[in-house]
Amino acid sequence: MVVGAKKTLQQVPSKGRISIMKIQNFTVQKKQSVFKVVYGTLLAILALISVIIDPVKIFTNWYLDIQEGKFIFSMWENPTYQLFSEVYVFNYTNVNQYLRGTDKTLKLQEIGPFRFQEFRTNRNLTVDREAGVMRMRPNIDLQFLQHESIAHYKDVHVTMPNIALVAISTLMADRLGYFANAGAYYSIAALGSTLFRNMTAEELLWGYSDPIVSIANKLLPGWIDFEKIGILDRFYAKRPDTAEVEIGDESRKFSLNSWNESPGLAEQGYTDLNTRFQLQESAFNKTSEYACKCTKNCLPDGFVDVSNCYYGFPIALSKPHYVDVDAQQQTYFDGMNPEPEKYYSQLDVEPTVGVPLALSINVQINVAVRTSPGNPITKPVKDKVLPIMRISLFCKEAPPEVIQLLRLRFVIAPPVVLTVQILLFIIGTFFAIQGAYRIWKPTYKIIQQQEKPKVRRKSTERRRSSIILNMSDNSGFKDDDDLAKEAVSLLAITEEDGDLPDLLADS
């Protein structure tokens, strides 16, 4: 090694030599090994952290955050689900025979479908971050699809119970005494209203004029705010409804806080985590755990009283064709075909993020009849629940953009993330182990060289040795730096230089 300026070059112990380049390589490789240990450990830790925090879930929560301009906001404002409703009306074919007493049961003929497409939007959608709520005005528009219907509803004629007469008579029978009902009976008779009437399907759906409704509208405008009565006309009536939805509390996210500033709904459904919610067989029974307690004018099993939602009119809902309803009611009618496997109601939901996938709701609209001794006009159908129509509301599948997002979230992302996690862990572990091994057992070592017998060297070799031996005394080297540089050049000679076995002189 170089001891100083104008000093002899000391021989490496045991006359061994090592290349300066190899020393440099050894130092660099040792640093690289340390880096491999550090980088490998970090990669392995990153893989473990990604398993714990679940990056897919974090991205999903970020994506589902309600912000104006984001996908979820636009889906609330203008959903792209294709929602359809099919209406089937019941035509009473033997009214005259039944009223004369010739027939003991009413015969029904189902006519339909009349298909409509629903367009549901939420107007004035706003997000209140401080309150943690989202406010909106729900709106539904209906479009008739004539080419997918049995005919245009204007061209279909049916014989139906006079809903206005039955509703007013039943309402008065429930709330007024004998003399008031008797007066109502004579008034109705004078107006010319009948228990059954012929009408078009359009009149049934979107409203028909009746003297009873006209008088009620004039006498009680705060209660009867319409001049014509129609089933769909009232169900899809434009109202200034407002809704408030929770978005701040994660445990109640997207739950309804209020409807028209009234807190919540009476019942908000199930809490079990399933992918399909199916209507129970006893869902419409008065004994159901979700049914309101009834103490007066109770309907038979299988019917739900929705009169409070329909101006007090005795409208009752049931499953189509009287599936799972009171057996006595089924005996009053011919033409009903109760098929539970056909008229089911269910909602398919993806349970992780709560995305609705498909919907099928089948419900029948009926009118319940109750009579008073003072008003016998509805006596022929006393205590019966008369079928009016059934509605099938369905959405066969989610929109393509929702399907693509769900596919990305549940089909593509999990295996990709898992693969990346495994690769990070394997590569990181490999680098860490390799680096640690190189530190423990480096590739380059200082190897002691065995003495070799001296051989007679040629004159040129002797001259080269003499140059080296006298290098320190040579005045040709201007200073110590020149001497050091020459020494380094000599030390760089590798062990493979067999023709120069020993260029370093003994001290």
Confidence of residue 181 (pLDDT cuts 50, 70, 90): confident
**275 or 61: which carries more pLDDT confidence?**
61
| Of the ranges 57-71, 298-312, 381-395, the best mean pLDDT one | 381-395
With a pLDDT cut of 70, the percent of the chain lying above it is 72
Confidence (pLDDT) at 174: 82
Nearest-angstrom CA–CA distance, 179 and 233: 33
Confidence (pLDDT) at 143: 94
Confidence (pLDDT) at 92: 97
Average pLDDT for residues 43-50, to the nearest whole number? 87
Confidence (pLDDT) at 358: 92
With a pLDDT cut of 90, the percent of the chain lying above it is 30
- As a dihedral over the C-alpha atoms of residue 15, residue 21, residue 22, residue 26, rounded to 10 degrees, the angle is 140
For the ranges 29-33, 334-338, 446-450, the lowest mean pLDDT is seen at 446-450
Query: Phi then psi for 328, rounded to 5 degrees?
Result: -65, -40
pLDDT at 350 exceeding the cut of 80: yes
Confidence (pLDDT) at 197: 92
**372 or 391: which carries more pLDDT confidence?**
391
Confidence (pLDDT) at 222: 56
For the ranges 17-26, 30-39, 61-70, the lowest mean pLDDT is seen at 17-26
Nearest-angstrom CA–CA distance, 6 and 14: 24
**Buried-exposed string 172-211: b where 16+ CB fall within 10 A, e elsewhere:** bbeebeeeebbebbeebeeeebebbbebbbbbbbbbbebe
Q: What is the pLDDT of residues 354-372, one digit of tens each?
A: 888 999 999 999 999 988 8
Confidence (pLDDT) at 291: 61
Confidence (pLDDT) at 452: 57
- As beta bridge partners, residue 140 has 120
What's the one-letter identity of residue 288? S
Q: At what angle do helices 211-219 and 163-175 cross, to 10 degrees?
A: 50
- As beta bridge partners, residue 106 has 333
Nearest-angstrom CA–CA distance, 146 and 148: 5
**420 or 235: which carries more pLDDT confidence?**
420
Mean pLDDT score across all residues of the chain? 78
Average pLDDT for residues 43-67, to the nearest whole number? 85
Which three-class secondary structure string do you get for 252-301?
A: HCCCEEEECCEECCCCCCCCCCCCEEECCCCCCCCCCCCCCCCCCCCCCC
Q: CB-based burial of residue 69 (10 Å sphere; 0-12 exposed, 13-18 middle, 19+ buried)? A: exposed
Q: How many residues does the chain have?
A: 507
Q: What is the pLDDT of residues 182-235, one digit of tens each?
A: 887 888 888 888 899 999 999 999 988 877 777 766 666 656 666 778 888 878
pLDDT at 152 exceeding the cut of 50: yes
Element (DSSP H or E) covering residue 95: helix 95-100
For the ranges 1-10, 214-223, 346-355, 485-494, the lowest mean pLDDT is seen at 1-10
CA dist 26 → 40, 228, 305 (Å): 21, 98, 89
For the ranges 107-121, 155-169, 261-275, the lowest mean pLDDT is seen at 261-275
Confidence (pLDDT) at 213: 75
Query: Phi then psi for 275, rounded to 5 degrees?
Result: -95, -10
Element (DSSP H or E) covering residue 404: helix 400-407
Which three-class secondary structure string do you get for 150-186?
A: CCCHHHCEEEEECHHHHHHHHHHHHHCCHHHHHHHHH
Q: What is the pLDDT of residues 295-339, one digit of tens each?
A: 677 888 889 888 877 777 888 999 999 999 999 999 999 999 988
pLDDT at 433 exceeding the cut of 90: no
Confidence (pLDDT) at 471: 47
Structure tokens at 104: 């003991």
Confidence (pLDDT) at 273: 42
Q: What is the pLDDT of residues 266-296, one digit of tens each?
A: 443 434 445 666 666 666 666 666 566 666 7
Per DSSP, the three-state class of 468 is helix
Confidence (pLDDT) at 284: 67
pLDDT at 472 exceeding the cut of 90: no
Confidence (pLDDT) at 329: 93
Confidence (pLDDT) at 8: 43
Q: Distance between the two ends of the chain, CA-based, in angstroms?
A: 12
